Chain A
Amino acid sequence: MNEATKRNLLKALWIVFVYIILTMFAFIYLSPFIRSFVASFMTWEQASKYPPEWIPHPFTIENYLKLFRLELFPRWIMNSALYAGLIVAGNIIFSSMAGYAFARLEFPGRDALFSALLALLMIPIFVTLVPNYIIIYKLGLIDNIIGLALLSLANVSSIFLMRQYFLSLPQEVFDAARLDGCGPIKAFFYIALPLAKPALGAVAVYQFLGAWNAFLGPLVFLRSPENFTLPVGLSFAFQRSMWTEYTPIIAGSLVAAAPTIILFIGLNKYLIRGIVIQAGKG
């Protein structure tokens, strides 16, 4: 065996080794998902066995059928879509405006205000849950998707992401716009916003994922089953007084996850770019 083939062999072995490690990690990360997928075709009896079994026997689609037999299932999907839609729209509108103001306008107290806003990131949501509840209650919007969405129409991390993005745009373009006749508002609509499409895409995807999967907020603020979002509805439907029937919930979660998975596959470019923007200059 000469030197070159020896080196090629070592290289091949190394690649095999790396792939084995990566596959193992991928399997570890994927295993809950795989487990859910398999379990969704099992009976509750089999799914709750210990040690866990991996092949559905008997194979059943009863869990999915149960789901579609639920009268409110389409309603919950609509509610989730409405909730996520409102939040995405709100974040795109308000976070882009706030981010623009923090990045491009000069007003007294701007930096102090921005620091205060960032400090909000440190506050756990459980701290604000009760005050928020009281506010929404006084507004008469408890048990109302719109009332719940109101709480999340703007978001610190979205504002931060938009601000970073606007800061990364060249100053000279805004100077040129100013000379061409744009005040701050026209510059926002004609220049800043069209240039911010990648950042807006990232905000939309993040907020959609967060809203679609949200559990705690909807659980606390919504009361009537017909107003539930999908995650809350599912746990409501299959929670018995002493135990929870998990297999239909798992099936429901997989159905619920479908849009987010599709969204992720389609838009992961934007997600990654969003992270890159936030990691940019501060």
Chain B
Amino acid sequence: MARVLLKNVVKKFGNVVAVNHVNLEVKDREFMILLGPSGCGKSTTLRLIAGLETPDEGEIWIGDRLINDIDPTKRNVAMVFQSYALYPHMTVYQNIEFPLKMSRVPKNERRRRVIEAARFLGIEDLLNRYPKQLSGGQQQRVALARAIVREPEVFLLDEPLSNLDAKLRVKMRFELRHLLHDELKVTTIYVTHDQVEAMTMADRIAVMNQGRIMQIGTPVEVFEKPANMFVAGFIGVPPMNFFYGSLVSRGKELVLDTGGLEINIPNSYTKSLQEYVGREIVMGIRPQEITIHTEPIEYAYPGKIIGYEPLGTELYIHFTIDEKTDYVAVVKQRLAINLGQQIYWRPSPSKLYFFDKKTGNAIY
């Protein structure tokens, strides 16, 4: 079992900086998720830890070993790939056995460990089949068995669920975490672009964008206290609404002047926002924190409905205040609304986020 540490790691491909000064500490037995849009450098980071890529700068540590120049085989890491990367010409048994065979484990010992791993994942009936005879979910179990049979210190998973259908994905999400975190208790680094996976599985999430780590924190932390606009916009479905404007003082009160609309800012934010008076800021509100009213009420602002998506349990209402920007509110109650209708939307006063427009960083 081991801790994984990345210090100032940089990886370039030609002129593209795929991983840009990444610092990351994954604690022993922690389930860490690297989350970000495609091309953000999360898979490259994983491949750097695996040893499939070499860093241009920085240090990578596993436990107390500096592994920059250590061969991937000797790093004691196992990886599960997005396509599972099973060897098509080998049976399930041979697939699971392969890493042991390569490290010259004696035959009896190999047999014992293969069967143990297969039993652990419930695939002992499939040992004589070939990968192409298996379903996606079964293939994935074989890939996992091949990884755990080596008893690695660190588990690396690269979007392991993205090739499964939606229903199986939800099931495997739960199983995977249980298996790796609760049963095997192995340090796990898991790459995904799916924020729901990240929220439900991770001990901590490292949100990445353009090769940099934007924020590291528990799922609750990144959701409730996003460090910047990127994290705020990336985590949460539907994404957070952003209102751009300048912060203006009206007597004792602060308001956000969006150009056509002045939004009152509750007093509880006055202190942290004081130094931004007269500057451009961004106000963020999650769609779940907006209520929609058909009649004007206090602290509600006019808007026009431009679309709605009924999801059964809830309703996504798209509205605009300037005929340009699309904002979303999620409401639970059944509303009789029509396209183009005038409504009044009211942000929940305690759930507002503010960001410096220039840097994108959150203001707390």
Check B85 against A170 for contact (C-beta < 8 Å): yes
Check A179 against B77 for contact (C-beta < 8 Å): yes
Whether a CB of chain A sits under 8 angstroms from the CB of B89 is yes
Whether a CB of chain B sits under 8 angstroms from the CB of A57 is no
Check B81 against A181 for contact (C-beta < 8 Å): no
Whether a CB of chain B sits under 8 angstroms from the CB of A178 is yes
Check A179 against B52 for contact (C-beta < 8 Å): yes
A37 CA / B191 CA spacing, docked (Å):
67
Q: Which residues of A contact B99 (CB under 8 A)?
A: 179-181
Chain B 50-83 residues near chain A, CB threshold 8 A: 50-52, 72-73, 77-79, 81-83
Q: Which residues of B contact A181 (CB under 8 A)?
A: 73, 99, 102-103
Whether a CB of chain A sits under 8 angstroms from the CB of B122 is no
A165 CA / B85 CA spacing, docked (Å):
17
Q: Which residues of A contact B146 (CB under 8 A)?
A: 176, 180
Question: What is the distance, in angstroms, from A221's C-beta to the closest C-beta of chain B?
Answer: 39
Check B81 against A195 for contact (C-beta < 8 Å): no
Check B88 against A195 for contact (C-beta < 8 Å): yes
Whether a CB of chain A sits under 8 angstroms from the CB of B87 is yes
Chain A 137-186 residues near chain B, CB threshold 8 A: 170, 172-173, 175-182, 186
Whether a CB of chain A sits under 8 angstroms from the CB of B223 is no
A213 CA / B123 CA spacing, docked (Å):
52
A186 CA / B71 CA spacing, docked (Å):
15
Check A172 against B85 for contact (C-beta < 8 Å): yes
**Choice from B72, B87, B102 contacting A173 with Cβ under 8 Å:** B87
Check A172 against B103 for contact (C-beta < 8 Å): no
A181 CA / B100 CA spacing, docked (Å):
9
Q: Which residue of B lies closest to A176 (CB)?
A: B85
Check B85 against A182 for contact (C-beta < 8 Å): no
Check A175 against B73 for contact (C-beta < 8 Å): no
Check A179 against B83 for contact (C-beta < 8 Å): no
A4 CA / B80 CA spacing, docked (Å):
59
Check A180 against B81 for contact (C-beta < 8 Å): no
Check B87 against A191 for contact (C-beta < 8 Å): yes
Check A178 against B85 for contact (C-beta < 8 Å): no
Check B82 against A180 for contact (C-beta < 8 Å): no
Check B103 against A173 for contact (C-beta < 8 Å): no
Check B89 against A179 for contact (C-beta < 8 Å): no
A240 CA / B85 CA spacing, docked (Å):
64
Check A179 against B87 for contact (C-beta < 8 Å): no
A208 CA / B351 CA spacing, docked (Å):
76
**Choice from A173, A186, A190, A194 contacting B85 with Cβ under 8 Å:** A173
Q: Which residue of B lies closest to A193 (CB)?
A: B89
Q: Which residue of B lies closest to A197 (CB)?
A: B89
Check A178 against B73 for contact (C-beta < 8 Å): yes
Interface size on B, residues (CB 8 A): 23
Q: Which residues of A contact B230 (CB under 8 A)?
A: none
**Choice from A182, A194, A195 contacting B102 with Cβ under 8 Å:** A182
Check B81 against A176 for contact (C-beta < 8 Å): yes
Given contacts A178-B52, A191-B87, A172 and B73 within 8 Å (CB-CB): no
Check B52 against A195 for contact (C-beta < 8 Å): no
Given contacts A170-B83, A172-B83, A186-B102, A179 and B88 within 8 Å (CB-CB): no
**Choice from B78, B81, B102 contacting A172 with Cβ under 8 Å:** B81
Check A195 against B72 for contact (C-beta < 8 Å): no
Whether a CB of chain A sits under 8 angstroms from the CB of B98 is yes
A191 CA / B51 CA spacing, docked (Å):
19
A255 CA / B50 CA spacing, docked (Å):
59
Q: Which residues of B contact A170 (CB under 8 A)?
A: 83, 85
Question: What is the distance, in angstroms, from A202's C-beta to the closest C-beta of chain B?
Answer: 17
Q: Which residues of A contact B47 (CB under 8 A)?
A: 175
Q: Which residue of A lies closest to B158 (CB)?
A: A172
Check B89 against A194 for contact (C-beta < 8 Å): yes
Check A176 against B89 for contact (C-beta < 8 Å): no
Q: Which residue of A lies closest to B98 (CB)?
A: A180
**Choice from B51, B83, B88, B102 contacting A180 with Cβ under 8 Å:** B102
Chain B 99-157 residues near chain A, CB threshold 8 A: 99, 102-103, 146, 150
**Choice from A178, A182, A195 contacting B89 with Cβ under 8 Å:** A195
Q: Which residues of A contact B150 (CB under 8 A)?
A: 180
**Choice from A176, A186, A190, A195 contacting B79 with Cβ under 8 Å:** A176
Question: What is the distance, in angstroms, from A200's C-beta to the closest C-beta of chain B?
Answer: 13
Question: What is the distance, in angstroms, from A273's C-beta to the closest C-beta of chain B?
Answer: 16
Check B98 against A172 for contact (C-beta < 8 Å): no
Question: What is the distance, in angstroms, from A96's C-beta to the closest C-beta of chain B?
Answer: 15
Question: What is the distance, in angstroms, from A122's C-beta to the closest C-beta of chain B?
Answer: 31
Q: Which residue of A lies closest to B75 (CB)?
A: A179
Q: Which residue of B lies closest to A187 (CB)?
A: B102
A178 CA / B150 CA spacing, docked (Å):
14
Q: Which residues of B contact A180 (CB under 8 A)?
A: 73, 98-99, 102, 146, 150
Question: What is the distance, in angstroms, from A86's C-beta to the closest C-beta of chain B?
Answer: 28
Check A175 against B52 for contact (C-beta < 8 Å): yes
A176 CA / B52 CA spacing, docked (Å):
9
Having A170-B85, A176-B146, A190-B98, one finds 13 other A-B pairs with CB under 8 Å, namely A172-B83, A173-B85, A175-B50, A175-B52, A175-B79, A175-B81, A176-B81, A177-B87, A177-B98, A178-B73, A179-B73, A182-B102, A195-B88
5 closest A-B pairs by CB: A181-B102, A172-B85, A176-B85, A180-B99, A181-B73
* A positions within 8 Å CB-CB of B: 170, 172-173, 175-182, 186, 190-191, 194-195
17 pairs from A and B in contact (CB 8 Å cutoff):
A172-B81, A172-B83, A172-B85, A173-B86, A175-B50, A176-B87, A177-B98, A179-B50, A179-B51, A179-B77, A179-B78, A180-B98, A180-B146, A181-B103, A182-B102, A186-B102, A195-B88
